Amino acid sequence: MLNEEPVGVAVLGLGNVGSEVVRIIEDSADDLAARIGAPLVLRGVGVRRVAADRGVPAELLTDNIEELVSRDDVDIVVELMGPVEPARKAILLALEHGKSVVTANKALLSRSTGELADAAERARVDLYFEAAVAGAIPVIRPLTQSLAGDTVRRVAGIVNGTTNYILSEMDSTGTDYASALADARALGYAEADPTADVEGFDAAAKAAILASIAFHTRVTADDVYREGISNITPDDVASARALGCTIKLLSICERITTAEGQQRVSARVYPALVPSSHPLATVNGAFNAVVVEAEAAGRLMFYGQGAGGAPTASAVTGDLVMAARNRVQGSRGPRESKYAQLPIAPIGDIVTRYYVSMDVADKPGVLSTVAAEFAQHEVSIAEVRQEGVADEDGRRVGARVVVVTHRAPEAALSETVAALADLDAVQRVASVLRLEGTGQ
């Protein structure tokens, strides 16, 4: 039986996602009401510019965001404006007026989760953000609810479709980074300015959100170590393939234990070699996937479309239904869990395997000199490959050495690379990448 009192909704932003959310609210009104227990009524849509051709009745449009989120007939505010401002101001105002909030604003959440969570707690309302990470893929709710009784050890995945498309193209066609990026732009996967995606900022924001939830610790984007993919070359891709791997931009969040027994949180984003046998190696194109490893549940994988208007709107609407249902029932959803407050581990504490590619002098004794430098810094070598480098006329002009290490601390590897660069036999260290998912 439906509650006669409707739940009023204000949507801020009418881009691809906002337009789709408005459409779902209107086209699925009966189904949504049945799931919620009360009618869901769109009270208004906040936009930067009011125009008659926005696909929404003119009387619902307003550019007065403050007035809209403060209205008495609005119970839930759906923020889909981006960027950080004016979204932050609008969300805080909505929370102060006792409105529950649904947002997909990863950049804001990765910097101001604590501020927003505290405001929601003071007002005793909900703050939902499933769509902020991996679009339609349910990741946030499983971490906050399904695994609430478990201990999460590691969350790793591909959470940026633009970079995954570029790297997939480089792997499948042998093209270079610039050409793959141009293709991504032509298909609408990359923005005119792709910096946020290709330099890892977008993935780092999502890593901060995932780490905060998984490890009950406030982690911000500034806590996340970040590298992008713009320096990946066809040679790196070919070498990875020769090693039975592919290159993916990974967001990795994990609970680590120091030699002294202290637990810390690591959150990092970088391109890494992933074995072809690993589930993430088969995630291609603009798709996303997240692998969660927990003590009792073991390994869980979530896969699907990580961006786009309809997929993201699906996650937003799911949050909207949850928030509306809580309003009708007089309850609240999960609140921020920050009891652990674990320290953030610096990147130098991380232990993993490495791929180091260097251009060297084509003469005897170079390999032994290089190997000695690794040994000096206690970085064990697992595999070495050497190949000739030819000019455009096919004449051999040098050599390339690729070293794959066993597991070693990041700090030791960094010292090794710095020492290699100073060797007369090494012309340049061309690439340093990690290997993840090898279990060795």
pLDDT tens, 356-393? 999 998 888 899 999 999 999 999 999 998 877 766 66
**DSSP per position, 212-229:** HHHTTS---GGGSEE--S
440: exposed, middle or buried (Cβ count in 10 Å: 0-12, 13-18, 19+) = exposed
Write down the CATH number for the domain with range 348-435: 3.30.70.260
Is the CA virtual torsion 171, 172, 174, 175 positive or negative? negative
Provide mean pLDDT across the span 127-154. Answer: 94
For residue 306, name the pLDDT band (cuts at 50, 70, 90). confident
pLDDT at 148 over 60: yes
CA distance 398 to 233: 18
**DSSP per position, 21-55:** HHHHHHHTHHHHHHHHTS-EEEEEEE-SS--TTSS
pLDDT at 47 over 60: yes
Catalytic residue among 89, 99, 206, 248: 206
- Residue pair 90/69 in contact (Cβ under 8 Å)? The answer is yes
pLDDT at 21 over 90: yes
**Span between the terminal Cα atoms of the chain, in Å:** 57
In this prediction, what percent of the chain has a pLDDT beyond 70?
97
- Residue pair 268/224 in contact (Cβ under 8 Å)? The answer is yes
* Binding annotation for NADPH: 106
* Binding annotation: 12-19, 106, 191
CA distance 78 to 331: 19
Residue extent(s) of CATH 3.30.360.10 domains in the chain: 140-305
pLDDT at 72 over 80: yes
For residue 52, name the pLDDT band (cuts at 50, 70, 90). low
Provide mean pLDDT across the span 318-325. Answer: 97
- Residue pair 193/131 in contact (Cβ under 8 Å)? The answer is no
Query: Which residues is 381 bridged to in the sheet?
Result: 405
Provide mean pLDDT across the span 282-300. Answer: 95
Which residue has better confidence, 405 or 258?
Answer: 405
* Helix, strand, coil % over all residues of the chain, rounded to 5: 40, 25, 35
pLDDT at 398 over 90: no
> Count of H helices and E strands in the chain?
14, 17
* Maximum distance among all Cα pairs of the chain, rounded to whole angstroms: 85
CA distance 48 to 117: 26
Q: What local confidence, expressed as pLDDT, does residue 308 receive?
A: 81
Whether residue 206 lies in the annotated active site: yes
For residue 33, name the pLDDT band (cuts at 50, 70, 90). very high
Residue 216 has phi, psi (to 5 degrees) of 55, 45
- Residue pair 92/116 in contact (Cβ under 8 Å)? The answer is yes
pLDDT at 91 over 90: yes
**DSSP per position, 274-285:** EETTSGGGG--T
For residue 413, name the pLDDT band (cuts at 50, 70, 90). very high
Q: What local confidence, expressed as pLDDT, does residue 239 receive?
A: 93
Per-residue model confidence as pLDDT tens digits over 211-239: 999 999 999 999 999 999 999 999 999 99
Which of 54, 57, 110 lies closest to 87, judged by CA?
110
Residue extent(s) of CATH 3.30.70.260 domains in the chain: 348-435
- Alpha carbon distances (Å) from 37 to 100, 125, 226, 329: 17, 18, 44, 9
Residue extent(s) of CATH 3.40.50.720 domains in the chain: 7-135+309-329
Q: What local confidence, expressed as pLDDT, does residue 386 receive?
A: 86
Fold classification of 7-135+309-329 (topology level) = Rossmann fold (3.40.50)
For residue 194, name the pLDDT band (cuts at 50, 70, 90). very high
Q: What local confidence, expressed as pLDDT, does residue 268 receive?
A: 98
b vs e for 355-385, b when ≥16 Cβ sit within 10 Å of the residue's Cβ? bbbbbbebeeebeeebeebbeebebeeeeee
Q: Long-range pairs for 182-188 at CB < 8 Å and ≥24 separation?
A: none
Q: What local confidence, expressed as pLDDT, does residue 309 receive?
A: 86
pLDDT at 440 over 60: no
Provide mean pLDDT across the span 31-37. Answer: 96
To which H or E segment does residue 412 belong? Answer: helix 410-421
Average pLDDT, rounded, for the chain: 94
Provide mean pLDDT across the span 92-97. Answer: 98
Write down the CATH number for the domain with range 140-305: 3.30.360.10
| Chain mean position to CA 117 | 20
The CB-side HSE value for 98 (13 A sphere, CA atoms) comes to 7
For residue 9, name the pLDDT band (cuts at 50, 70, 90). very high
